[in-house]
Structure 1
Amino acid sequence: MTGTGASADDERTFDALPPAQGRGFARTWWGLRWLKALEDTALDNQQLKRGRGYARQGAVGAVSVRPGRITAVVRDRDGTPHRADVLLQELSEAQWDMLLEVVTGEAGHIAALLDRDMPPHLVEDAADAGVDLLPGIGDLEPQCACEAWDHCLHTSALAYQMARLLDQDPFVLLLLRGRGERALLEQLQERSAARAAGTPRAAHTSHAPHDALRDGPDDGEDGLGGVPADETFALGAILPPLPESPPHVPEAGSPPALDGGTPPAAGLDVAALEFLASDAAERARRMLAEALSPGHAESVPAGPLTQWQDAVRLAAARPAPWIAARLAGGRGDAGSGRTGSGPTGSGRAVRQLEPAVRAWEYGGAAALDVLEESWAPEPGALARARDQLASAWADDDGARPRLRATRNHWTVVGRGAQLRYGRDGRWWPYRREDGAWWPAGGAERDPAAALAVLLAHGGGDGVEDSARDGGEES
């Protein structure tokens, strides 16, 4: 058996295992395949049976595993020691190159190995590439001090004990085939990084001649394939440590001035572009602050904004009027002397933007949804709200406001005030201004608290049309 570049560190010694009373020697599918190779190879079933008994009784000492060979001292019943070896052919350089390509070519292979698992499809893919990982008939070659020419009870006992070790760690099989765990993971990391960078394999392969290389999976038209996330995280144990977390940034930096003295290209609004750059910097600062906050890893990230929600968010920064008009979908501000290149696609009128901005300032996307949605809450939620309102004015029925409920909108009769029930179970105050309902504050869990604050600051416009909402008086 010739070596394939294994280092002196590529040897592992396992302490003698306790007797295997009441259990089989293999439970994993690859451990059972190892035993099948042993039982199909041996010519004397009686010797196998005796060796299995020796292994079960704990007659096998410490097991040494190195490329191409496993070794142990097996004692007879009278205590006579015998050195037993079982040999398995190491993989060639070309076979190792193909196996590395197989492992890095499909998501999950590296992660499975690090979980001490050997997926059947990994072995099947390797076999399709011409690499037999598990032994077959005649592959387990015995050598024993008792000078038996076939598997004797000593080598049989060692092979049965080896099945228990393989069950615990498939890297033992890979070491027996020629590569230790540390060296193998370093080579897999190198291959994965090269795939991500689109580096030709010949440039980073140190074990395979050029004619042994084969094409890997299709990485797309540009030849740049990604590295599966589970494999990347699985390799974290051998990757360099991450740098220290960046410090908190108290305020976003100013974007560079884009007006360089030369006229901009046709249709390019430099002021609008500078506004977007400033917004991007501020968003980055906030995202960093959130990432550094305690408990961020367990928090659920917010979903993406719609185009209209993002337009409202940008407008809440109070940009120049012509920028706000473009965010709403208009073509600019007639009094500004500036025009945009066209509507942004939000499809809203400019007059819709201001109440939407106010809602956003009170509660972000959730408040904007309340402004625009009308829906029917479940009866139980409405009953709880009536109970809360009744309890709040129980001592003064004369002062208790009358409300007319229309779906999730509860309008105070005789006052320009309204409560709106959000899908998150909170109540939002609204006030009638210039003939329309406008957001008037943040949300409350208790409708009586939201209503008390709203009425304390007075109602809104005349309420002669409040009854036109229809609905049920509460």
Structure 2
Amino acid sequence: MSVFHGAEGANDDGADGTYGNEQTGRSERTFAALPPARGGGFARTWWGQAWLKALEDTALDSAQLKLGRRHARAGAVGAVSVRPGRITAVVQDRDRTAHRSDVLLQELGAADWDRFLDMVADRAGHIAALLDRDMPPQLVEDAAAAGVELLPGIGDLEPSCGCEAWDHCAHTAALCYQMARLLDQDPFVLLLLRGRGEEALLGELQARSAARAQAYAPDQDDEGTATSGGAPGAEAGVPAAEAFAAQEGLPPLPPPPPPVSEAGAAPALGGGTPPAPGVDVPALEFLIGDTAERARRLLAEALSTWHADAPPVSGPTPAEDLVRLAAAGPPAPVAERLATASGRDARGLAAAVRAWRQGGPAGLAVLEEEWNPGPEALARATTGLAAAWADEGDRPRFRVTRNRWTVVGSDAQLRLGRDGGWWPYRKEQGRWLPSGPPDEDPAAALASLLAEERT
């Protein structure tokens, strides 16, 4: 834990120095270089994993992310300086070339901090969690309900590196992976990055909590006897459930908009005034049409009977969205640009589109990911395979490589998804390609593939 009342403090392992301004509450903490990470993930806590998701959903070059992970795992990230709006470290390449790397995150404004501090001060459990170096999901959800986003999202982590890369490079990626380890240890590091040091934040919380306690404390007469004072109207309060049931003073909701059966046609932009240099008219027309169709689908979901009970679904990552756009059937020049941006050749993009049409983001992940099922997942898979073919003599022989079961002597393969579904794959022109939607029954997933081979 950091020392609150000194110009310089240290955490439990002596790796943290804290410097600040008592009047503004702005401070800087410097963490000594962490030792190399041997195996396992970089983040154990859910908020550390959310930080890494913001990085991985933002970066366009997965190869740079992989190299950044190797840098961080090898201990190539030096001391990390954390201050409002910025983290900084020197990261070394394998050849010992050093690069100053910064990652920027927008600070919260004064109004955001007021809402956040009021929300936390009203909930003793949130204060206790922060003091215990914990950030429960309910705290982040309550902050979001108050209009304050604590955790970064897509595009919020802005890179700046001495190697002059325009996107996240291996150096800024390594810094972010190292930062996840620091966030695991202390969520106050995230709050400092958002603009408030630990000492100033706890001081404000203490002041607000004391003010609330005083406001709701009963008044006392000259002899110290409690009177009927206190917060105005406290005795005449109405339970929240009754207030909402009565709907007193609440205007009725407007009627929902009518459903839209199909998206409107995109306007033709090719005639009239010539476009400005660099404006791709067919691409722009395609994006307008795609946006209209997505809006129609979002409206249909919002009007559905199950919408209120369905958890929110995050949108596709930039890499996934490239494939989604390609699956929408763009003009050939636009498809070529999408293939180039995705780092795939024409065949690779066609395979990705095929996987997307079979299962969206999950289908694309099965195409591109190769992972080792854990003991529980492997046991369930083995049990499912045994149950699918009651007669062991009818069961095909498989060659197992990680999450892929290839039928021996055949161009058929089953891939186990992370959700436990079995995805059928067929080798076509030397490449494994998805051949249908997933099925919980491996035999059903494989049946159509083997039937095609027999015919």
Output the TM-score relative to the length of structure 2. Answer: 0.49
Larger radius of gyration: 1
Output the TM-score relative to the length of structure 1. Answer: 0.47
